Structure 1
Amino acid sequence: MEFHVLKPKHLLFLPLFLLSLSACTERIAIETAGGGGRLIIYGYITNESAEHAIRITRSSGYFAQTRPEGVSGALVTVRSDTDTFAFTESDTEPGLYRTAPGTAGTEGSNYTLHVSLDFDGDGQAEEFEASSRLPLAARLDSIGVGQSPVFDEFMEIRFYGRLPDNAENYLSIHAYINNTALNDSLPDFTVVGGKYLVQKELNGLPCFYLNQEEGGKLSWGDYVSLRVDVLTKEYTDFLDNAASEAQGSIPLFSNPPANVETNIRSLSNPSRIPVSGFFSAFSSSRAGVYYYGND
């Protein structure tokens, strides 16, 4: 076995080197100029009869402690071959634009979002568009709740129904207990699909797990419900990329964060008004059951 001995000159150099590091304590303040902010447009329309929303904001600085500023005064519409949905800005929340209650998209239809606004304040309106197809919905006949045969501390929610035959079948699964969402934040979204969903008829497929030792613990009589969204591949990729960027880079010195790819396009000068965000159409199905022990 070979041993390497640190020579005295190295021992002398090491504390001097460490002392030089500890002596570098002068603070350097770097002033950075704030930009004008980036235009962010985000929203979607579904097959559910509801009040749909599009949110338009101006991005904040990286270290900002406030929410992005809402952008008012936009003209917002969503059109298909047969329908036109007008969006009205909220009286209490600038930048939030809503349809009338009871608005619903049609499965299989293509929808185009159009936004017109003077973002840079030069007196001329800029135009923006994005398009998406609303996929066919999954048929969610019922759900079941029972003990997982694999994980002792988990209950599982089971899917009974059928996937559409001619859809990409990217599914986003959302679970609720007594109408309170369990995974409503982006990092908690459960999206499955593509090559993993070959079978169309699903007879008790476990699709969500409830940890009985943490949040999600069930009590007798709780109402458990499931929402299954069928997404396009483009929207699935957007959610995946957004979640990755929100999580941050590991290790520390990996590539810097980048703007998530958008489907919002400028009909004016694209380089003059930078824009981010996404517009999508997707279909939703819901079912629920009261919990009175294992099914």
Structure 2
Amino acid sequence: MKSRNNVYLLLLSLFSLTACTDVVDVDLEKSEPLLAVDGQITDQPGPYTVRLSTTASYFSNTTTPAVTNATVVIRDSEGVSETLKQTTPGVYVTSQLRGKVGHKYTLTVKADGQEYTAETEIRRVFPLDSIAAEFRKESLGQEEGYYLKIYGQEIAGKGDSYRWKVYRNDSLLSKPADLIFFDDLYIDGNYLNGIALGNGPFKKGDKIRVENLSLTDDAYQYIVEIFNNTAATGGLFSNPPANVRTNIRNVAPNGKKAVGWFNGSAVRRVEKTI
């Protein structure tokens, strides 16, 4: 369930998600390696990248192996397709394909005698107007430094979902607490007049970039599950993390499963040096 009071409590309420769960016994010592897919296409100029690897046992200290010599193809809803080129082990990139808002895309991966497919689309996204940096002195539970606020006009028409990525000096802030995502259920068509980001504090001279990415409904739920599995702190005796969803499926009904996600997003960004 989700509970949100108003736009200013947006981020807090988006993270107040709970669910009834069953305890599942998982053999962490031994697990069959599965194909792991990490791919994205946007409406920005390419190249776009699909990374392929295999999963490893939970207690393994080795790097997850890259999947080489695979055939990776992306096809759009207008019939345009491209076979990606492997540039480094497990990394496949496009050379000509260009993502467009409103188009749907299909990923096909042939590897290790198996064929997998995934579908996504690039939905609309609203532009960000500006970033404001507010200096705050040290107080109880808050470090001294600059904290960010974001401004932008959300597009009218319910059903949109977004993720915000925050970069400091060109490095993505990637801790669980930095994961910002929301839908437009209570903000549809409104102007976001100084939404406070939970990241920070920042310093004078920091170069800040915030990217607004559109999400499909399934991708939004995928991020919800990622957040719940990485940021939730249920205590010593809480249930173990559950497997998150994937849109990668084997074309054979009884074929080996895969994990990961193939995502499509429109991207709008704004920058500021504090």
When normalised by structure 2's length, the TM-score is 0.77
For 2:259, the equivalent position in structure 1 comes to 276
For 1:224, the equivalent position in structure 2 comes to 208
For 2:82, the equivalent position in structure 1 comes to 85
8 Å CA contact 2:53–2:66 kept in 1: the answer is yes
CA distance in 2, matches of 1:207, 1:247: 17
Aligned-pair CA distance for 1:228: 1.2
CA distance in 1, matches of 2:155, 2:63: 39
1:135 and 2:123 correspond: yes
1:105 and 2:99 correspond: yes
Q: Looking at CA atoms only, which structure, 1 or 2, has the larger radius of gyration?
A: 1
Higher mean displacement: 145-154 or 196-205: 145-154
Give CA deviations for 1:207-249 in whole Å, capped at 9, x if unaligned: 45432xxxx3x21x44322111121221121122123234577
8 Å CA contact 1:87–1:98 kept in 2: the answer is yes
For the residue of structure 2 that corresponds to 1:277, the secondary structure is strand
1:286 and 2:274 correspond: no
Q: CA RMSD in A?
A: 2.9
CA distance in 1, matches of 2:111, 2:36: 12
Aligned-pair CA distance for 1:113: 1.0
CA distance in 1, matches of 2:76, 2:107: 9
For the residue of structure 1 that corresponds to 2:159, the secondary structure is coil
Change (3 A) 1:245 1:143: closer
Could you tell me which of 91, 98, 118 is aligned with 1:96? 91
8 Å CA contact 1:144–1:158 kept in 2: the answer is yes
CA distance in 1, matches of 2:136, 2:212: 20
For 2:4, the equivalent position in structure 1 comes to none
1:1-295 counterparts in 2 under 5 A?
34-82=30-78, 83-90=80-87, 92=88, 94-100=89-95, 103-118=97-112, 125-147=113-135, 153=144, 155-166=146-157, 168-181=159-172, 183-211=173-201, 216=202, 218-219=203-204, 221-247=205-231, 250-269=234-253, 271-291=254-274
User: Which sections of structure 2, spanning at least 5 residues, go unmatched?
Assistant: 1-27
For the residue of structure 1 that corresponds to 2:185, the secondary structure is helix
CA distance in 2, matches of 1:243, 1:205: 20
CA distance in 2, matches of 1:261, 1:186: 18
8 Å CA contact 1:163–1:169 kept in 2: the answer is no
CA distance in 2, matches of 1:205, 1:68: 38
For the residue of structure 1 that corresponds to 2:39, the secondary structure is strand
8 Å CA contact 1:135–1:167 kept in 2: the answer is no
Aligned-pair CA distance for 1:37: 1.0
How many residues align? The count is 244
Aligned-pair CA distance for 1:103: 4.7
Amino acid at match of 2:196: P
